[in-house]
Amino acid sequence: MATKYVYFFGGGKADGKGTMKDLLGGKGAGLAEMTNAGVPVPPGFTITTDVCRYYYANKQKLPKELEAQQKAAMDKLQKIMKKGFGDPKNPLLVSVRSGAKFSMPGMMDTILNLGISEKVTAGLSELTGNERFAWDAYRRFIQMYGNVVAGIEKSDFEHVLEAQKHKRNIKQDTELTVSDLKEVVANYLKVYEKHTGESFPQDPWKQLEGARNAVFKSWNNPRAIYYRKQNKIDDNLGTAVNVQSMVFGNMGDDSATGVGFTRNPSTGNKEFYGEYLTNAQGEDVVAGIRTPRPIVHLGEDIPQAYKELRAITAQLEKKYRDVQDFEFTIEKGRLFMLQTRTGKRTAAAAVKIAVDMVKEKLITKEEALMRVEPEALDQLLHPVIDPKAQLKVIAKGLAASPGAATGRAVFDADSAAERGGKEPVILIRQETNPDDIHGMDAAKGILTARGGMTSHAAVVARGMGRPCVAGCEEIKVSEADKTFRINGTTVKENDWVTIDGSTGRVILGQVPLIDPEISGEFGVFMGWADATRKLKVRANADIPRDAKVAREFGAEGIGLCRTEHMFFAEDRLPFMQQMIVATDVEARKAALAKLLPFQKEDFVGLFREMKGYPVTIRLIDPPLHEFLPKTKEDAEVLSKKIGVPTEKIMQAAEELHEFNPMLGHRGCRLGITYPEITEMQTKAIIGAACDLAKEGIKVVPEIMIPLVGNISELKDQKDVITRIADATIKEAGAKVQYMVGTMIEVPRAAVTADQIAQEAEFFSFGTNDLTQMTLGFSRDDAGKFIKVYLDKKIFKEDPFQTLDQIGVGQLMDGAVKKGRGVKKDLKCGICGEHGGDPASVKFCHRIGLNYVSCSPFRVPIARLSAAQAVIESKAKSGSGYSMK
Ligand code: PEP
Ligand code: MG
């Protein structure tokens, strides 16, 4: 039997099948599948990849059986369409497209309207009653064919078109009249003749031969060869050719064209959604010349086709088990589906659709959980920029804390704090530091020129749920002049500025925002995530207010309370500073004694808010100079407050100055040199737990020692803690349990985790510092060069944002194994910023951590990521759910 080279599709039946991608190419197989499924795609036929391979194996000759098979397919097509190929009275026009097994953008441009000629143009004018449309179709065909088949530069045709517009003194193509188009066509034909030495083919069969052979040739054009090399696609696969009938929505009032979704893509509501135009072509819908009508009215205009469209799209949604975004054309009452694909949707719609489809038994809960991007949940929790708004984007920085904010520019924290209660302000700084917190809290958003994803601004803003764009190096901030400059624009104090912390965009002017709305479906959806995940999710929170937000977002404890943040409040800072400038132990203890009640009160608040959930409290961590005044004027103010001479304060600041504070006197090194600080903090933590225990509220504080690299450091601090804790409990006569553990954030701690685990009752990976120290990248300064690294693709991701799994991750994996080798059930968590990053959360699941901890607003993202991690590993191991 002769080899079958041509596969027909149409009339409800296709010769091929969806599985025949090798032979029919991806597009051809798809068309066959849709046809067999009863979807009325415009009929046509596919010339197989065998023909392409034959063509190259036989010096660019085609198999002799092809012509007859192609002719038979075309005859069938004419019958089904009730039109004639080349018949001026009732012409059948076709499109010709390449289609390899794998989609190869850039291989060959599509040729539309093939079959048109001078005579057919006249016939088409009559049929559509639209002479202009017919001549424009002919013009476009000559241009496409001339370029793709005859290899004439597009610009040669464009010059003709431009010259015509110039002659007539018009700007838009749409302003060209019928006689203009006729002139353009005449000139196009001349271009063609000049280039090829032949006249333009008027015979449709000749056109088809030219287009088909051009597709086979295009398989080996340089763009295609390059693409295959890049994407490791086999050069011998070959391409198929798809010949498909053109259909027209502009054949009268019983014709139409439109686009739609099977559900509302912005709300997720189950409603037929879309728009259409009668007596129009696809372009008219997008071009905005006529206003399209909502799709429900199609039922009044062309009822039968509308009914069919409803039935078919519903069937497609069922078949693909997801929302479909479709394009259709109705030609003289007959419906054709041009395209259907998975519909893009907002986060709110994604959650609603996922939940609804489970209720409709279309998908499983696990599939529903995989249908929503964890990062997209951010859209549900923060205001976003109104998608309809016109934006003047002036710069781009790091998307450091999600959500959008609009407000007046202010350049210092005090102004932000003062004005923030009355009007929206955006705090703009070179970089922020701990004494900017009050301003950050009062501002609607924060913009900094320096600093990376774990810089102060980024970490604090995320904790507060404040939108932040950090490390926007393009802007030149002058805090003194209260301005910033970017590409010749100067933004002054009080100018309106908008930031989008989800994308890093900085926008000039006031922009309308849309507030989030949390739907009932969100709760149901997150409930499924909770039932699926194995990882617990905690939050990084320092004060009761943040802890409350964290609980509302579903946090199951606090994974990191950075106690130093408690010392920056106005009523405590002077005592802290007094403690720092003290020259002897006694003076230091006296200052600490004043801080004690504040600390205790903070912990009581935090424990109460967390209602029995675990709370990990980290002892003081940052270098002390961060607490001291930076200028002489500030030192004078402090001097008056605490009665220490200005010079002495300045001198202390000078002495505490370090060249590399991140690797200096910080972390457990503070507690080791000043044990009285550890003593005070322990007293406050355990004292608070005792007070609550007496009220019948159980809390098990987890006291955490930062920056440990050596077992002896841990031992030293643990001794202080247990001594004071046991004494405090005894004195209070209460029953309180507590744990002492450590952060693993120095590489040495990770590689000696078996030793560390002998003393530690838990591990918490501080991946901000662990990344900094493993990569040797300063977390505050890396923004500058990481941007270049990302542009040059040296790194795929910012390692401060998403965990470097191969490097830092390897240290973590090893540390967990070593630690659990010593203590089988050692509790291990993560509290670096990576704890809220989906890919990193999934990694934490895989290495067997007990929990992740992240800023409160990222808690839902972590909950969903943790659930997806379970589903993905099940799919990998082959049990249960399989990812389609
Ligand atoms: C860390 O280093 O990952 C961490 C959580 O601590 P900090 O960011 O406060 O240094
Ligand atoms: Mg740290």
Averaged pLDDT, 13-42: 94
The answer to whether the CB of 317 is under 6 A from ligand 1 is: no
Q: Which of 838, 786, 832 is nearest to 471 (CA)?
A: 786
Question: Which pLDDT belongs to residue 875?
Answer: 87
The answer to whether the CB of 618 is under 6 A from ligand 1 is: no
Neighbours of 884 (CB within 10 A): 8
Residue with tokens 């624009």: 489
Asked if 285 contacts 257 with a C-beta cutoff of 8 angstroms, the reply is: yes
The answer to whether the CB of 716 is under 6 A from ligand 1 is: no
For 184, 761, 764, 814, 844, the CA distances from 823, given in Å and listed in that order, are 83, 9, 15, 14, 19
**Runs of H (alpha helix) within 520-631:** 520-532, 544-552, 573-581, 585-610
Sheet holding 476-478, edge to edge: 476-478, 483-486, 489-492
Question: Which pLDDT belongs to residue 583?
Answer: 86
Cα 713 from Cα 449, distance rounded (Å): 37
Nearest Cα residue to atom 9 of ligand 1: 562
**Runs of H (alpha helix) within 663-766:** 668-673, 675-694, 711-732, 747-751, 753-759
pLDDT bin (cut points 50, 70, 90) of residue 281 is: confident
**Known catalytic membership, residue 472:** no
pLDDT bin (cut points 50, 70, 90) of residue 173 is: confident
Mean of the per-residue pLDDT values of the chain: 92
Task: Report which bound ligand comes closest to the CA of 564.
Answer: 1
Higher pLDDT, 392 or 629: 392
For 33, 34, 102, 110, 464, the CA distances from 20, given in Å and listed in that order, are 10, 13, 12, 22, 54
- Residue 308 scores a pLDDT above 70: yes
Which of 93-102, 481-490, 645-654 has the least mean pLDDT? 645-654
Return the top range by mean pLDDT from 268-282, 454-468, 537-551: 537-551
- Residue 879 scores a pLDDT above 60: no
- Residue 138 scores a pLDDT above 70: yes
Centre of ligand 1 to C-alpha 459, Å, is 9
Averaged pLDDT, 49-54: 96
Question: Which pLDDT belongs to residue 106?
Answer: 67
Centre of ligand 1 to C-alpha 617, Å, is 12
Averaged pLDDT, 671-689: 97
The answer to whether the CB of 217 is under 6 A from ligand 1 is: no
DSSP 327: E
The answer to whether the CB of 773 is under 6 A from ligand 1 is: no
Cα 464 from Cα 569, distance rounded (Å): 15
Residue 268, exposed/middle/buried by CB under 10 A (0-12, 13-18, 19+)? buried
**Residue of 382, 456, 625, 845 marked catalytic:** 456
Give the pair of three-digit tokens for residue 319: 């078949």
Centre of ligand 2 to C-alpha 819, Å, is 20
Model's pTM, two decimal places?
Answer: 0.81
pLDDT bin (cut points 50, 70, 90) of residue 451 is: confident
Question: Which pLDDT belongs to residue 878?
Answer: 59
Q: Which of 126, 123, 141, 128 is nearest to 181 (CA)?
A: 141
Asked if 832 contacts 810 with a C-beta cutoff of 8 angstroms, the reply is: no
Site to substitute for ligand 1 among 742, 745, 803, 854, most atoms within 8 A of C-beta: 745
| 815-864 per-position pLDDT tens digit | 999 999 999 999 999 999 999 999 999 999 999 999 999 999 999 999 99
pLDDT bin (cut points 50, 70, 90) of residue 541 is: very high
Question: Which pLDDT belongs to residue 285?
Answer: 64
- Residue 884 scores a pLDDT above 70: no
Centre of ligand 1 to C-alpha 588, Å, is 26
Return the top range by mean pLDDT from 26-30, 448-452, 652-656: 26-30
CA atoms within 13 A on the CB side of 203: 5
DSSP secondary structure, 376-442, as one string: GGHHHHS-EE-TTS---EEEE-EEEE-SEEEEEEE-SHHHHHHHHTTS-EEEEESS--GGGHHHHHH
Give the pair of three-digit tokens for residue 741: 């553990």
The answer to whether the CB of 779 is under 6 A from ligand 1 is: no
Q: How do the residues of the chain divide into helix, strand and coil, expressed in percent and rounded to 5? A: 50, 15, 35
Centre of ligand 1 to C-alpha 762, Å, is 16
Nearest Cα residue to atom 6 of ligand 1: 766
Asked if 667 contacts 599 with a C-beta cutoff of 8 angstroms, the reply is: no
Cα 612 from Cα 607, distance rounded (Å): 7
| 410-442 per-position pLDDT tens digit | 999 999 999 998 999 999 999 888 778 889 999
**Known catalytic membership, residue 456:** yes
Averaged pLDDT, 743-754: 98
Question: Which pLDDT belongs to residue 344?
Answer: 84
- Residue 56 scores a pLDDT above 60: yes
Cα 667 from Cα 619, distance rounded (Å): 8
Averaged pLDDT, 109-122: 93
Centre of ligand 2 to C-alpha 789, Å, is 24
Question: Which pLDDT belongs to residue 882?
Answer: 34
Nearest Cα residue to atom 1 of ligand 1: 766
For 387, 819, 832, the CA distances from 765, given in Å and listed in that order, are 39, 12, 7
Which of 103-112, 538-547, 852-861 has the least mean pLDDT? 103-112
**Residue of 831, 834, 844, 854 marked catalytic:** 831
Sheet holding 393-396, edge to edge: 393-396, 505-508, 496-500, 404-410, 425-429, 445-448, 468-470, 398-401
Higher pLDDT, 206 or 635: 206
Question: Which pLDDT belongs to residue 883?
Answer: 32
The answer to whether the CB of 831 is under 6 A from ligand 1 is: yes
Question: Which pLDDT belongs to residue 876?
Answer: 82
- Residue 78 scores a pLDDT above 50: yes
- Residue 881 scores a pLDDT above 50: no
The answer to whether the CB of 769 is under 6 A from ligand 1 is: yes
